[in-house]
Amino acid sequence: MMSSVPGPDKKTKLMVYTIEECPVCGQKTKRAFAVGDYVTKDGAKCTKCGNQAKITLVYAEGSKPSG
């Protein structure tokens, strides 16, 4: 489930992302946050080396609404 929350100025919407990082090759993948994600949880297989990636960060980033 994609999550968005109102930003501090109410005009900006905050989109929440999950960052997965491969502990072997360091490849980082950014995707939309899904309920159940948490830091250190196993993520998907690394697209570069095939090792198990881990969630290293979950954060919100502002995005101005279009129009």
Partner 1 sequence: MFTLLPSVLQASSNSSGGGIADLLNSNTVFLIFWVGFFFVTFFYQARLQSYMALNDISRGLNKLKVMKDKSRKEAIDYLVNVGKASADPAQRVDQFLDYVTIMPVETDPNGIIPKIDHVVTTNNDRVRAEVGALLGGQSNPVTVSISENLLEVATSLNQIHKIVRHYYLLGKKTNSYITLLQLQMLMPMIIQEADALLNAVDSFKLGQPVGDGIGPVIVSKYMTGGEKRAIAKDTVMAISEYKGRKLYVLKADGPMAYVGQPGVAITKIIQEMGVKPSAIVMIDAALKLEGEKTGEIAEGVGAAIGGIGVEKFQIEEAATKAKVPLYAILVKQSILEAITVMRKEIAEAAEKATQVLNRVIEEKTKEGDDVVIAGIGNTLGVAQ
Q: In 3D, which of 43, 19, 22, 39 has the Cα closest to residue 31?
A: 19
Alpha-carbon gap, residue 2 to 65, rounded angstroms: 16
Instruction: Give the residue, chosen from 25, 27, 29, 58, that forms a contact with partner 1 under the rule CB under 8 A.
Output: 58
Instruction: Report the residue from 11, 26, 28, 39 that binds partner 1 according to the rule CB under 8 A.
Output: 39
Q: Is residue 3 a contact point for partner 1 (CB under 8 A)?
A: yes
* Nearer residue to partner 1 within complex by CB, 44 or 61: 61
Token pair, residue 44, equals 């998907």
Q: Report how far residue 59's alpha carbon sits from residue 66's, in angstroms, rounded to the nearest whole number.
A: 21
Task: By CB under 8 A, name the binding residues for partner 1.
Answer: 1, 3, 5-6, 8, 14, 16, 19, 33, 35-41, 54, 57-62
